[in-house]
Each structure stands twice: as C-alpha cells, then as structure tokens.
Structure 1
Amino acid sequence: MSSLVVAHTRYLLLEQLRVPISLLAGAFFPAVAMVAFVVPFAGSDPRAATMATGSLAFFGAMSGALIGLSITVAQDRELPWNPYLRTLPAGPAPRFAARILATLAVTVTSMVPVLLVAGLFTEATTTPPRLLLGLGAVVAGLVPFMLLGLFIGLVTTSKAAIAVSQVLFFPMAVLGGLVMPPQILPGFVQAISPYVPTRGVAELLWAITAGSTPDAVALVMLGVWTVVAAAAAAWAYRRDEGRRFS
C-alpha cells in the first residue's frame, strides 16, 4: 500500500509541476501582499510583521487546500481514469492519500516566498522551535479546509467547484483576519470573525510565532468546523460512491 501511495504522489506532483499556474498563483499573491502592505506599513514592527507573515503564509496555503483540492477532486471525477482506479483491488485509498499528500506539499511550498520576503525586508522574528510549531499549526489548520475542498469536489462539477471554492475562500480569509488585522475591521465583522475557521488558525499561528493570547471562542469554533467538514466530506464520498458504483 505504501509503495502505491508513493507512486501516486509522485505522479500527482509531476502533473502539478507540468501545469504550475496554480502553484505560482498560490505563492505569488501572498508575497505581493507582503511587499505592498506589510513591508511599508508594518515591516519595522517585529510583532506586527511576524503576525502578518503568519496570516499571509496561511492565506496562500489555504488557497491550495480549499480551491486547489476542490477543483482537482471534481476534475478527477469527470475523467474515466479515476473511476477505473476505484474498481481495482487496492481501492481508492492509495490515490486519495496521495492527493492529500500532494496538496500538502504544494500548499507548504507556497509559503516559501512569504517567509523569504519577511526574512529579507521586515523585522519579523521568531525562534526555530516556534517556526517549526508554526508550520505544524499550518498543516493542522489546513485540515478543515481540505475537508471542505473534498466536499465541494465530490458534489459539484469542476467548473462549479472553481466558483464555489472561491466564493468561500475570500470571505473566510477576510473575516478571519488573514488579509487585515481583526482590530481594524468593522464592528460587525469583528463580531463574526471568531466563528469562522480561518480566525481559529490565525489565532494559533499568532500565539505560536508572536506569543499572543489566542481567542478561546475561535479555537473552539475551529474544532467545530473540522468536525462538521469531516462529516460533510464523508457524506459526499458515500453519496458519490453510491451513485457511480452501486
């Protein structure tokens, strides 16, 4: 089983590298936001620059987890190769695991330009243990968004997945404080912010890398979103399995 997962992961990564536009987009826009907004306005403040770096790094990673995964899963369902793989003795597990691993590799890679800009042009600072913990928090924080991506990909066509995932992505990024600090958002947005999953991940990243005190409501709601997204993804998979293979 492990050799099959490795083989599928290698194939999916090669497939991604041959058409790298989504990888470039996921890495480009957060880095540009760092240069345009963080470097001139918060670059000299170590705490603010560190928190902004964590937010924008996750912004790029979240794009690959939610938008990228939903589109690729929907596209897989429309190709004859994927249903054939699901009928083989190994079942869908190797390719499914490979798709998750490939998505994680792409999303983590998209964070590199943001970290480089922060290291070269701002006063953002953290320790190596905090940086490693922050990377772990990013991976853990991607789970609910990957589950949402799976849900969208399993219930929509590839064209619809593009629209639906983007409609979810940008409001959640803004409401969660990934684009602008929650403190400068309008009052009604500040009231909603702790209840979206992006705010919970941001709170974790800020606490780990900058030493801030996390909002308890945001962390609890992140757990709630993860459970709900897992249930939705499981239901969507069983629905898709029943429709096409029963």
Structure 2
Amino acid sequence: MTKLAIVELKLLTREPGAMFSLLIPLFILVVFGSSLEPGDTVLLPMALAIAVGLVGLYLLPTTLATYRERGILRRLSATPVRPANMLVVQLLLQLVLAVVACGLLMTVAGTMLGAHLPSRGLLVAVAFLLGTAAMFAIGLLIAALAPNGRTANGWGVLLYFPMAFLAGLMQPKDQMPVILATVGEYTPLGAFRQSLQDVWAGGAPDPLLLMVLAAYALVISIAAARFFRWE
C-alpha cells in the first residue's frame, strides 16, 4: 500500500491537471483580491470552493476512468495490490491535493493580500470536509459511469461550469435572479461555498446546508459504489 501511494504520488505531481487545480484558484484570488478590502469575506471562500471543485469534478474522475480504460485496475486484481487499494490511495492523494491547494490559497491571502482568516478552525474543517466529500462523491459517480478518461473529463467540465454559476462562483450571488440564487445555494458547490462564507463572516454554517452536503456525499457515494466497474 505504501509503495503504491509513493508511485501514485509521483504520477500525480507530473499530472498537468494537478497543477491546473493549484494555479487557477490562486490566479483568481490574486487578480481579484488585490482590489478588495482586507476584511472581505467572499473571495477566499469562493476560491477554496473552486479549488476543491476542480479536484473533485475534474482530476479525480479523469484519473480513475483513465486507469480503468487502460486496464490498470483489471491487472491489479491479479496482484497482491487489490484494485480497492488503488481507489483508497487515489482518494487520499486527491484529498491531500485539495488541502494543499486550499492551504496555499489561505497562506497567500493572509500574508500577501491581508485577507480576513477565520479563527473558528473546527467550523472551517467541518464545512471543508463535508464539501469535499460531496465533490468527491460526484467525481466518483462520474468515474463509475464514464467509459473512458476523455469522457470523464468532458462530463466533469459540463457539470462544473453550471454548478459554479449556480453557486455564485462566476457571478456574485446578489446579482443573480432570486430563484437561481436560491436553487444554487442547495447545489453541492453552492452549499459548500455558502457554508465557508458563513464561517468567514464570523458566524456558523447553516445546519441545513451542512446536512445537504452530508446527504449529497452519502447518496451519491452509494450510487457511485453501485455503478463502479473495475474493468
């Protein structure tokens, strides 16, 4: 398992999508953050949600679907390294990548942009873990249904942009029609962004939104497990 994790980590560091997931949110933060007030509580939560969304909806499903397409998972089933171990390692590495991306964003925001950082670390962790679980569950479902890596990539992109728009990541929520803003708040990405923003504003996440994220993570994970194929 350890050797597998080391190999997969090396492959992940060479994956252009991993660098993409790190740099795009950082670029958005730096470009738009330089013109905002230091006490802004909107941009950084948005950047964090973007980073996790890219990892969960783009990188994770593309990697797993490509491995199945190339027969890697099938060949692993004939070795002591079971396919399930590959799945666990990939989930952990993608989680580490999401944590690194968000840590980089918070470091840059706090040191270079003077952005507000919340003091309630536990609430940040709860919102982050539930939001990440929901995003990863969707990524696993895409990987389960997509016949190959290219299709998984396309489906991830097709899902990401509508979800990002409804979540208020592409246009401020207060500039959206009320019905779209309301619907968007209960999408996985919207509930994630809003929960983070509530913590950044000094409050606590809406328990309903946290339950929405937990429900998405549970239900979609069950569906992904039902349809997932090793070959």
- TM tier, smaller: 0.7 to 0.9
Query: 1:72 maps to what in 2?
Result: 63
- Distance, in Å, in 2 between the alignment partners of 1:226 and 1:10 is 27
2:22 to 27, 31, 41: 27
Contact 1:203 1:219 in 2 (8 A): no
Among 130, 135, 148, the alignment partner of 1:145 is: 135
Count of aligned residue pairs for this structure pair: 230
Which residue in 1 is equivalent to 2:185? 194
Q: Of 140, 144, 160, which residue of structure 2 is paired with 1:154?
A: 144
Relative to its length, the structure with more helix (as a share) is 1
The two structures have a TM-score, normalised by structure 1, of: 0.83
Alpha-carbon deviation of 1:204?
2.2
Find the aligned partners of 1:25 and 1:50 in 2 and give their Cα distance: 24
Contact 1:59 1:178 in 2 (8 A): yes
The answer to whether the Cα contact below 8 Å between 2:57 and 2:138 also exists between their aligned partners in 1 is yes
- Residue number in structure 2 paired with 1:226: 217
Q: TM-score, normalised by structure 2?
A: 0.88
Secondary structure in structure 2 of the residue aligned to 1:88? coil
Which digits, 9 at most, give the CA deviation of each residue in 1:141-182, with x for residues without a partner? 111211111111122111111110011111112211234442
Matched ranges for 1:34-73 at <5 A: 34-40=29-35, 43-46=36-39, 49-73=40-64
What is the aligned-residue RMSD (CA, Å)? 2.3
**Deviation for aligned residue 1:57:** 1.5
Specify every segment of 5 or more residues in structure 2 that has no aligned partner in the other structure, as ranges. none
Structure 1: unaligned runs, 5 residues or longer: none
- Partners of 2:123 and 2:205 within 8 A in 1: no
Query: Where do 1:57-136 residues align within 5 Å?
Result: 57-89=48-80, 91-127=82-118, 129-131=119-121, 133-136=123-126
> Once the two structures are superposed, what CA deviation does each residue of 1:181-227 show, in whole Å capped at 9, x if it has no partner?
42222223113112201122123212333224544553343233223
One-letter identity of the residue aligned with 2:37: S
Distance 2:21 2:196 in 1: 19
